Structure 1
Amino acid sequence: MASPGQLPPGWIAEWNEANQRYLFIMGGACRTYCCPPPMSPQLLPRHMEEENAGNPGYYGGSNASDATLVNQPGGGQPQQLFTPGLAGENQFQAQQVAGGQQPSYFQPDSGYGQQQPAYGGKQPGGVDGLANQFGTMGLGGQKQFHLNTINILTSPPDPLALHEPPARDSSPSRVVHISCADRDCRSVVKIPLSLIITPYRTLDEGDEPIPLVTDVIARCRRCRMYINPYVQFIDGGNRWRCCMCNMSNEVPQMFDWDQARNQPGDRWARAELNHSVVEYVAPTEYMVRAPQPAVYVFLIDVSHPAVQSGMVATATRTLLENLDRIPDDDKITKVGIICYDVSLYFFSMAPGSTDSTMLVVSDIDDVFLPKPTDLLVNLSEARPALEALLGRIGDMFQDNSIIGSALGPALQAGSKLMAPIGGKIFVLSCSLPSVGEGALKNREDPKILGTSKESSLLQAANSFYKTFAIDCSRAQVTVDMFLFSSGYQDVASLANLPHYTTGQTYYYPAFNAARSEDAIKFAHEFGEVLAMPIMLECITRVRASRGLRMASFHGNFFVRSTDLLAMPTVPQNQSYAIEIDIEDTLTAPFVVVQTGMLHTTCFGERRLRVVTTAHPTTSNLSEVFASADQIAIATLLANKAVERSLSYKLEDARDYIFKKLVDIFITYKSSMTAAGAGASAQLALAENLRMLPVLVLGLLKNVGIRQSAQIPPDIRAYSQALLISLPSQLLIPYLYPTFYSLHTMPPEAGTVGEKGVIMPPALPLTSERLERHGLFMIEDGQTIFLWVGRDAVPQLIMDVFDLPNYEVLRGGKTTLPVLDNPFSQRVNAIIQKTREMRRGVYYPHLYIVKEDGEPPLRLWALSALIQDRADVLPSYQQFISSVKEKVNGVGY
């Protein structure tokens, strides 16, 4: 065993052969796993300096939150290096790419024939940062932050800055392996204090699964916190001290026993002491009832508009094709189908038969189930009958001439059908609910758009949808809405159902399956939702250290009590924001926030997912700014803006987020700069927040809250539904779209590299970068635009669109052909990568936009270039100038 080097008095180092790590022990009583004793970096054991020379301490992707710290001999070189609190070490740097022969449609005199920078991770120049990490993380160490101030007025937005890992706060005194699932947890430190969490996110290729603990659950006797990497063992390891309330607890008898091998186990190898996200198999005392099977009920609109649009045929075909993808490993999943127009159509399917019977209920004022059995059937047992039925539904209603929608009664029927168990209702609706409970009227009024009364159109018109949603929540029922109307459908009212039941709203305005693009988008998204694993019967509780209080929650769920969230089902990649108030003075060196999610898997096993994050406390404002996360702040402000627009007015929402940004600048100027409270010619802010102003501008220009008299209320309501539910990886491009120059992209862009398709370098969002001869791509995660300049050379048009020249090119929604030339294949690869690279089920439409094409389409595409002035909305330069005026006291 290598010598651990010089240690302070009372400390010893013990080599753990199984884990190839040192345990530092003081007096034999207080063990801290892989944690340095309180010593200066100069006392760092020599062998650690050597062993970690090629193994920097932290690694993670652009969505990383609490970093992964590796302290194992002989580790490999990670992708990125960063040190907690050192924002300057987290930067991506643009690297020059090798030149190559340009195709004939590149025009050298355009200025775009020059080589563009491409993405590339900054290579670490050394690993003495590891010593700094140990110094900042030591039990007696001093936290260190490097706060770099920049002048926003002279620092234009850099899209690459959004791909940097978030700023780090100093971690508590334990080296912790943060599991992959919490890389979407982001903390907003005091401006305001909040947690953005995506607790059930998809795993990337190469990610480790969430560790599963199957034996013992250790919890604090007082505050009920689950044991985690941040607790301290005392009394010779027989007890542990809670890091929330400081209560001393006994270590469970089986905690140090390996049940699989039936022999003593290594405590320090336990998942709950090494991962911030773990799952437990819940014992019977955690269950109110036995785990229930997954249940899916489909409410399909079969009225005349639904049949004519092709929605019915597309939905039934997609459902039929994806039956094998519905989670059903244990063969216990149940399904039911109800069709509706102004009546309800139930289908009885006998197990083992291919026959089904349609039962019609025309009394929609007192909804009842026409048969006690065979309406909700086992997916495996009734598979032949289900397949036959799905193949016939389109023919059954192909001549249906009824116009009208009894959506409310259909929802009541679906709820009655699954109420004893719970599960998920998929609603497919093509028109405004018109009869029965929950009937709505067209309240779209162009005269109030853009006025103070517009916010009334974003609130539910009928109390039925909120009260019914709360009833569904109690019955463990989630509602997903798929809306297809070509006219007004009151998305604002209908979106209450997913909002309070942990569902999601999907909107396809003017859907027409005769357009292959519409059919493909819906089929892809519906199929992905069907195949998605879900948590069932989930109860989520958030706990925090003494002195902290959960002030408010944002997202799709129902708040049952001050810290308890009811989530009938939890889909993957849905984001939630939690605001935290500081009630008392915090004296501990760090605080802990722990989220516990008791749920049933869709495979029938009761489990408990625990997410624990720790954050240091400080009285130094520079440390607060240096550790602030601009993406998390923008995510929280998006949620707050939607909340205020519904509670007050859209104008209030815009004023609120603008004032929040100004307040951050004022605090920074008065506390962090020499200007203090006086006027300043600069607009100073921490470098790690350099993109916050443009993200706020993107939020102000987003369809959800933008000042405009031209936005239909359904489009605005749908956008608001996205703002409060998208994970940060999808939300940020929705606020700040990605802009590429395709005709001058580097030679390797669009080809396959070590990490998949290589994307072009992103450009600032301004039309100044558009060229008349160029081909550009703009995308926001929901829509992709291909902008074609009016002077594009014929060879470019031929290579990409297989057309002779620009004049014959048509704008609008399209599918790009894959042609037998390298440039076409590269462009298609970039589009495909764009559709696949982010979490979520969304499949963005592709629009061709001609520079001199249809004005509405041009204006829509140009509105994504948020750094430009548009109508009454300011340019980025005008925006930050107005911020500067407010910061200097003008107007206050």
Structure 2
Amino acid sequence: MGGGPGVGPGVQAQPSYPGMAPPHAAATAPQRRRCCVLQVTTYFKFEVSHHTSTLKYHINFNFEASHNVAALCAGAGYGGGAPGGSYGAGPGGFGGGAGAYGAAPQGAPAGPAAPAAASHAEQLPGIHEIDITIQADPRVMRMTVGEIPSSASAHAQCKLPIGAIIQPMGLDDQIPPYGGCEVVNFGSQGIVRCKRCRTYINPFVSWMNNGRQWRCNVCGMVNDVPTSYFCHLDANGMRRDRDQRPELAYGSVEIQAPAEYMVRPPVAPVYFFVIDVSANAVNTGMVAAAVAAIKACLDRVPGDERSQFGLITFDGSIHFYNLKSTLSQPQMLVVSDISDLFLPCPDDLLVNLAESRAVVDALLDALPQMHRAARSVDSALGPALNAAGKVMAHLGGKMVVFCANLPSLGEAKLKHRENPRMLGTDKEHLMLKPDEPWYQNKAQDFSKLQICVDLFLCGAQYMDVATLFQLPSKTGGQLFYYPGFNVQRDGVKLQAELTRVLTRATAFEAVMRVRATRGLRMSNFYGNYFIRGTDLLALPNCTPDSVFGVEFAYDEQVLVASVISIQAALLYTTSTGERRIRVHNVALPVKTVCQEIFNSVSIDALCNLVAKQALDVALTSGLDAARARIQDVCVEILRATRGGGYGGYGGAQQQPAGMPEAIQLLPLYSMALQKNPAFRGGAEIRPDERAFIMAQLVNMPVDDSRCFIYPRMFSIHDMPADAGTPISAEAAAAEGMPTAGRSTLVRLPPVVNLSAERLTSDGIFLLENGVGLLMWVGRAANRALVASLIGAPSLEGLDTSALALLPAAAQPGGSSGDACARVNAVVAALREERAQHYLQLMVVGEGDGQNEHRFFWHLVEDRAPFPGGGMNYAEFMQHVTRQSFGG
């Protein structure tokens, strides 16, 4: 929160109070924030005590478990049971963890049998020995704090959650100013890593013995420098070739992985589609929209000439398609007995896309017509998933599933469990939990087979989103939901989001491990993954839209290091078949003064993590408990600031003048989060909608959650003449101008507070909440301007659900046409920033019943008649301030 698009991540905006500019209105020059990482490693420990007359020495010998790769590949998979997971092991294990994930691959040297003894008080690199200005980009790793409390007691005193929001592929959008990492090839010497904890060499290690040894910044072990990697040190103790070594000069690098980091040779990328062709799917236009988007993307999918393609359809039966390249037309084979499923022509169901392109195109062109007379209302989703899994089992890959009905046939059929009487009660959260364990079990099986599921739900009725979400949730996939799908309204959104899924950079067969300097440990993960062991995240796919939250806890009462280093490493296969290890590093100073720690807070990352924590509470204990958790975090932090030397700030004041500047927005955002559709009370949000919102939030990056928690509302009718026009990044930084966009920065209109008092009948307001756009049009708004925007001078008598913003090209000249062009530019820039989801625009008229009511949901500074919404901002500020004083 703090700062709108175009503001550097981590830049703090001024607080928003009635009568003041809202937080998104402030912007300053970009600044870089610090990020964090952590490792949990299991060792065998032996303690030897030596007594003298005056001294007692305690020495801990740590021996890393060493295993043969056979242990890792038990069942032919990287976690067991999978025919060919590519990863999970590097020399001594990819992550150096215990059990299967600490295994050494065949042909690679096993972990050292007896590494050097290490005292628990072993030195770690000091802050004076490293260049702490070298950090991973905050777009890939952002910490909730920029400085770490020096002890567990100091952490308990300041009450700040310590965690990181990690987006390991966040630099891969290939849109300026984004770009990939520097690539490093260590050659025949092998990758330089710590022999004990397996940390990758990075900018925060220290150098010893004139460059012949280096000290690990995670565990403190002294490692010998390979002869071919040796370089003398300069007068500051830094390697003289540091600027020529990306792994020492940059916070993020991409390492080429040698053969010993593979369990099997790289396989071709697989794109397999499972499409519902029941009557509902065909009649709503879902099938036609999906196949049109698939065909349009075939020339852009990553993987060049190696890509594999397959497709099945289902209703009450399963329909297979022979796509052999020698055929002139695809052949459809129907299996009606879903209880005894088999694969007809198994060798021709998954084909090389380039070789069979003509047959694939013919199938996609014919598919809507082939099923145009569909009468079946049944859905055999479970058997269809089984069939697709059998086809993909030997390769893994991406499975894209389209479903328009509640699964009703075969195994994994679901019952209609939506109960309106449970809405708004203490039992509502039971409908937000998965019901049928089959989907979670199947997702775990898919994860072992390196199959990722991206799920598109387009049902007109109840779908049990909470249960079906288990498929993408455990396989590194993503969920998309279009309630009451209508192709005129939702077709563009579906095609845009499917295009993003198929064309974005993708890491296949990935695993991720996070490490941190001794004294910290990971206590929780958030995101779409399946965890193996204690700290290895299995990710059949990882993309620029994959986001993970990591929460840290203290492993020791006192941190012995003066700087904490955190490293996140993603081991994966590129779409072109290369093994890579993407490594992100951050370092944070250790502080003893709470005031300094409070001033280092990233309010955006903090609230993102708190929201993810609250989701867990909501699913286990209910929405009331989740809102209480959000408020308790706020109150505890406010109370802790007084112990940090800030004093009181008055229960009656709206502006928390005595509060640390970095957290002045915390009360506002805490109130807004409680009123968010993910957590708000009442009976207005159906279980499917809330489950989808929760699924979005758990995988939401910091830049999106800023507006998801506290939306931005722009005044359109009186926007300045330069709003909606391009501006350079340099000029925006110099002017402090809020902007949006990636390929081109666009000036944004004025931002107003989220209160109904700001709305006027002659006004037009555009609201963005991170996942969608709403345009509120007053009854007395300028008729020429309204006509230029939507094609009619007023909304009276119109079905607003079908309205869309007119393209600028359709407008004549003049002031209204110019305004329409600039509004289009603003909308396009906002959509470009939110690449993960297409921001669909809903037009809302003043007095427009239910639609206007939903618009008012986002005006979080006002009172609202639902549990969690009973206070406006001034009242909430008084309330939490009084509570922080023990009142």
Q: Same fold (TM over 0.5)?
A: yes
- Tell me the residue number matched to 2:643: 670
Q: What is the CA–CA distance in structure 2 between the aligned matches of 1:310 and 1:564, rounded to whole Å?
A: 41
Q: CA separation of 1:269/1:64 partners in 2, compared to 1, >3 Å: closer, same or farther?
A: farther
Q: 2:780 aligns with which of 778, 791, 814?
A: 791
Shift of 1:176: 6.1
Q: What is the CA–CA distance in structure 1 between the aligned matches of 2:412 and 2:879, rounded to whole Å?
A: 45
Q: What is the CA–CA distance in structure 1 between the aligned matches of 2:370 and 2:781, rounded to whole Å?
A: 50
- 3-state secondary structure, aligned to 1:501: coil
- Tell me the residue number matched to 2:192: 218
Please give the per-residue CA displacement for 1:407-451, whole angstroms capped at 9, x wherever unaligned.
011111111111111111111000000011110011111100000
Superposed, 1:350-365 pairs within 5 Å as 350-365=324-339
Superposed, 1:553-592 pairs within 5 Å as 553-584=525-556, 585-592=558-565
Matched, 1:186 2:142: yes
> Greater shift after overlay, 344-353 or 811-820?
811-820
Q: What is the CA–CA distance in structure 1 between the aligned matches of 2:202 and 2:564, rounded to whole Å?
A: 13
Q: 1:527 aligns with which of 499, 519, 544?
A: 499
Matched, 1:658 2:652: no
State, as a whole percentage, how many aligned pairs show the same letter: 37
- Tell me the residue number matched to 2:844: 849
Shift of 1:282: 0.5
Please give the per-residue CA displacement for 1:309-344, whole angstroms capped at 9, x wherever unaligned.
111111111111111011122x11111101001111
- 3-state secondary structure, aligned to 2:591: coil
Q: CA separation of 1:839/1:310 partners in 2, compared to 1, >3 Å: closer, same or farther?
A: closer
Structure ranking higher on relative contact order (CA contacts 8 Å, 6+ apart): 2
- 3-state secondary structure, aligned to 1:580: strand
Work out whether residues 458 and 646 of structure 1, in 8 Å CA contact, stay in contact via their aligned partners in 2.
yes
Work out whether residues 176 and 274 of structure 1, in 8 Å CA contact, stay in contact via their aligned partners in 2.
no
- Tell me the residue number matched to 1:691: 665
Q: CA separation of 1:679/1:304 partners in 2, compared to 1, >3 Å: closer, same or farther?
A: closer
Matched, 1:640 2:629: no
Superposed, 1:682-721 pairs within 5 Å as 683=656, 684-721=658-695
Work out whether residues 243 and 592 of structure 1, in 8 Å CA contact, stay in contact via their aligned partners in 2.
yes
Matched, 1:292 2:267: yes
Shift of 1:160: 3.1
- Tell me the residue number matched to 2:710: 736
Q: Which amino acid aligns with 1:883?
A: V
Give structure 2 stretches of 5+ with no counterpart.
36-125, 146-154, 232-238, 730-744
- Tell me the residue number matched to 1:618: 591
Q: Which amino acid aligns with 1:782?
A: V
Q: What is the CA–CA distance in structure 2 between the aligned matches of 1:377 and 1:583, rounded to whole Å?
A: 51
Q: CA separation of 1:617/1:437 partners in 2, compared to 1, >3 Å: closer, same or farther?
A: same
Superposed, 1:240-259 pairs within 5 Å as 240-255=214-229
Superposed, 1:469-548 pairs within 5 Å as 469-513=443-487, 515=488, 517-548=489-520
Give structure 1 stretches of 5+ with no counterpart.
1-59, 66-89, 94-149, 258-263
- Tell me the residue number matched to 1:822: 818
Q: How many residue pairs were aligned? A: 740
Superposed, 1:73-84 pairs within 5 Å as none
Q: CA separation of 1:805/1:295 partners in 2, compared to 1, >3 Å: closer, same or farther?
A: closer
Work out whether residues 593 and 614 of structure 1, in 8 Å CA contact, stay in contact via their aligned partners in 2.
yes
Shift of 1:249: 1.2
> Greater shift after overlay, 345-354 or 379-388?
345-354
Q: Which amino acid aligns with 1:383?
A: R
Q: What is the CA–CA distance in structure 2 between the aligned matches of 1:600 and 1:419, rounded to whole Å?
A: 17
Matched, 1:197 2:166: yes
Superposed, 1:19-30 pairs within 5 Å as none
Q: CA separation of 1:587/1:407 partners in 2, compared to 1, >3 Å: closer, same or farther?
A: same
Work out whether residues 379 and 407 of structure 2, in 8 Å CA contact, stay in contact via their aligned partners in 1.
yes
Q: CA separation of 1:163/1:642 partners in 2, compared to 1, >3 Å: closer, same or farther?
A: farther
Superposed, 1:300-449 pairs within 5 Å as 300-329=275-304, 331-449=305-423
Q: What is the CA–CA distance in structure 1 between the aligned matches of 2:686 and 2:652, rounded to whole Å?
A: 42
- Tell me the residue number matched to 1:141: none
Work out whether residues 136 and 251 of structure 2, in 8 Å CA contact, stay in contact via their aligned partners in 1.
no
TM-score with structure 1 setting the length? 0.79
Q: What is the CA–CA distance in structure 2 between the aligned matches of 1:206 and 1:843, rounded to whole Å?
A: 20
Q: What is the CA–CA distance in structure 1 between the aligned matches of 2:652 and 2:362, rounded to whole Å?
A: 74
Q: What is the CA–CA distance in structure 2 between the aligned matches of 1:863 and 1:650, rounded to whole Å?
A: 17
Q: What is the CA–CA distance in structure 1 between the aligned matches of 2:696 and 2:652, rounded to whole Å?
A: 38
Q: CA separation of 1:674/1:638 partners in 2, compared to 1, >3 Å: closer, same or farther?
A: closer
- 3-state secondary structure, aligned to 1:812: helix
> Greater shift after overlay, 433-442 or 565-574?
565-574
Q: What is the CA–CA distance in structure 2 between the aligned matches of 1:162 and 1:868, rounded to whole Å?
A: 25
Q: CA separation of 1:359/1:696 partners in 2, compared to 1, >3 Å: closer, same or farther?
A: same
Matched, 1:833 2:833: no
Work out whether residues 34 and 587 of structure 2, in 8 Å CA contact, stay in contact via their aligned partners in 1.
no
Q: What is the CA–CA distance in structure 2 between the aligned matches of 1:702 and 1:680, rounded to whole Å?
A: 25
| Alignment RMSD | 2.5
- Tell me the residue number matched to 2:66: none
Q: CA separation of 1:393/1:181 partners in 2, compared to 1, >3 Å: closer, same or farther?
A: farther
Q: What is the CA–CA distance in structure 2 between the aligned matches of 1:151 and 1:674, rounded to whole Å?
A: 21
Please give the per-residue CA displacement for 1:762-794, whole angstroms capped at 9, x wherever unaligned.
222112211111111111132211111112233
- 3-state secondary structure, aligned to 1:617: strand
Work out whether residues 676 and 709 of structure 2, in 8 Å CA contact, stay in contact via their aligned partners in 1.
yes
Work out whether residues 151 and 685 of structure 1, in 8 Å CA contact, stay in contact via their aligned partners in 2.
no
Please give the per-residue CA displacement for 1:628-660, whole angstroms capped at 9, x wherever unaligned.
111111110111111111122111111111111
Q: What is the CA–CA distance in structure 1 between the aligned matches of 2:282 and 2:320, rounded to whole Å?
A: 18
Work out whether residues 34 and 138 of structure 2, in 8 Å CA contact, stay in contact via their aligned partners in 1.
no
- 3-state secondary structure, aligned to 2:263: coil
Q: CA separation of 1:206/1:709 partners in 2, compared to 1, >3 Å: closer, same or farther?
A: closer
